[in-house]
């Protein structure tokens, strides 16, 4: 007799958790914060202490066998001494829309996403000098990840939160990704993504030709092979930034 396959649970596109909803009896939802490829993030308050935190709920179809959530938690834990990353607290399981959902509790980061921050700059971009400051802050933070033989894996403008902006930047990265494969190649990919963030922050393709030579020395026309020859890790990039001669 032919076996009938068990019905696939409906794909969850959004968790739609309203403010006031209690999670795992311990946390109260304060509001929706953002969403991405892996899941949704809400601001929560721990009921026992009143402390505010963030919870990331993983979409089950992007978290088969809990692999995504577990890699994420382990990597954040391993890299807990890196100040550019959020601190992992604990994992919870909840029921939502008839399915078991894995939730990851972390620090809540106040600030503004780099993508939004750029939108209200003049011409929606940073002047080169400020862009270099941003890149240097990012490279210094990611350098500490690379020094531990790890990589971030998901560096883009929606994963960078600007906490403070003055003479320099204070930044947090809210996300991570585990790609598998060789670490050295993933570290190199981080370096490329950092340079891409800088390139976009100072205006992208539209303004590239008009930038001073130092920008071209860093961006290398976004050619991965040229970047890989010059900067193998965020540390190499940072060293270059700290010793470059301004022209």
Ligand X SMILES: Nc1ncnc2c1ncn2[C@@H]1O[C@H](COP(=O)(O)OP(=O)(O)OP(=O)(O)O)[C@@H](O)[C@H]1O
Binding region for ligand X (CB under 6 A): 33-39, 41, 54, 56, 86, 106-109, 113, 154, 158-159, 174-175
Burial of 145 (0-12, 13-18, 19+ CB in 10 A): buried
* Closer residue to Mg ion, CB minimum distance, 36 or 111: 36
Annotate 112-124 with b (16+ C-beta within 10 A) or e (fewer): ebbeebbeeeeee
Structure tokens at 34: 């953002």
Please give the helix or strand (H or E) that residue 199 lies within, else none: helix 183-201
Compute φ and ψ for 154, nearest 5 degrees: -155, 55
Between CA 88 and CA 70 the distance in angstroms is: 11
Within residues 134-173, the interface with Mg ion by CB under 5 A covers 159
Q: Could you tell which of Mg ion, ligand X, none binds residue 41, using a CB distance below 5 to 8 A set by kind? A: ligand X
Q: Could you tell which of ligand X, Mg ion, none binds residue 113, using a CB distance below 5 to 8 A set by kind? A: ligand X
* Closer residue to Mg ion, CB minimum distance, 54 or 237: 54
Closest CA to 190 of 240, 135, 130: 135
* Closer residue to ligand X, CB minimum distance, 175 or 190: 175
Q: Is 224 helix (H, G, I), strand (E, B) or coil?
A: helix
Between CA 48 and CA 27 the distance in angstroms is: 8
Strand runs (DSSP E) across 143-190, as ranges?
160-165, 169-173
Tell me which stretch binds Mg ion (CB under 5 A): 10-18, 34-42, 120-128, 224-232: 34-42
Give the CB-nearest residue to ligand X.
Answer: 36
Nearest approach, Cβ of residue 84 and ligand X (Å): 13
- From 40, 150, 175, 190, residue interacting with Mg ion (rule: CB under 5 A): 175
Nearest approach, Cβ of residue 121 and ligand X (Å): 18
Residue 106 binds Mg ion (CB under 5 A): no
* Closer residue to Mg ion, CB minimum distance, 175 or 200: 175
Between CA 178 and CA 185 the distance in angstroms is: 12
Tell me the site size for Mg ion, rule CB under 5 A: 3
Nearest approach, Cβ of residue 32 and ligand X (Å): 9
* Closer residue to Mg ion, CB minimum distance, 159 or 188: 159
Nearest approach, Cβ of residue 214 and ligand X (Å): 30
Residue 35 binds Mg ion (CB under 5 A): no
Nearest approach, Cβ of residue 35 and Mg ion (Å): 8
- From 28, 32, 35, 36, residue interacting with Mg ion (rule: CB under 5 A): 36
**59: Cα within 13 Å, side-chain hemisphere:** 14
* Cβ–Cβ under 8 Å, residues 150 and 183: yes
* Closer residue to Mg ion, CB minimum distance, 96 or 113: 113
């Amino acid at each position: 007799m032919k076996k009938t396959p068990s019905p696939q649970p409906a794909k969850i596109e959004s968790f739609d958790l309203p403010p006031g909803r209690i999670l795992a009896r311990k946390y109260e939802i304060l509001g929706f914060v953002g969403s991405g490829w892996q899941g949704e993030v809400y601001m929560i308050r721990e009921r026992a202490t009143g402390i505010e935190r963030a919870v990331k709920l993983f979409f089950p179809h992007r978290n088969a066998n809990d692999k995504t959530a577990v890699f994420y938690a382990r990597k954040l834990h391993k890299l807990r001494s890196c100040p550019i990353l959020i601190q992992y607290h604990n994992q919870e399981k909840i029921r939502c829309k008839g399915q078991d959902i894995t939730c990851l509790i972390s620090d809540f980061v106040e600030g503004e996403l780099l993508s939004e921050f750029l939108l209200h700059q003049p011409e929606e971009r940073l002047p080169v000098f400020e862009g270099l400051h941003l890149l240097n802050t990012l490279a210094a933070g990611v350098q500490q990840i690379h020094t531990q033989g790890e990589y971030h894996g998901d560096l883009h403008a929606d994963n960078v939160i600007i906490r403070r902006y003055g003479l320099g930047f204070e930044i947090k990265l809210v996300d991570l990704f585990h790609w598998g494969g060789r670490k050295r190649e993933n570290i190199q990919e981080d370096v490329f993504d950092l340079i891409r963030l800088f390139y976009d922050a100072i205006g992208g393709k539209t303004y590239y030709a008009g930038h001073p030579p130092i920008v071209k020395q860093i961006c290398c026309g976004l050619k991965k092979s040229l970047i890989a020859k010059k900067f193998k890790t965020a540390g190499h990039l940072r060293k270059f930034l700290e010793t470059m001669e301004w022209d």
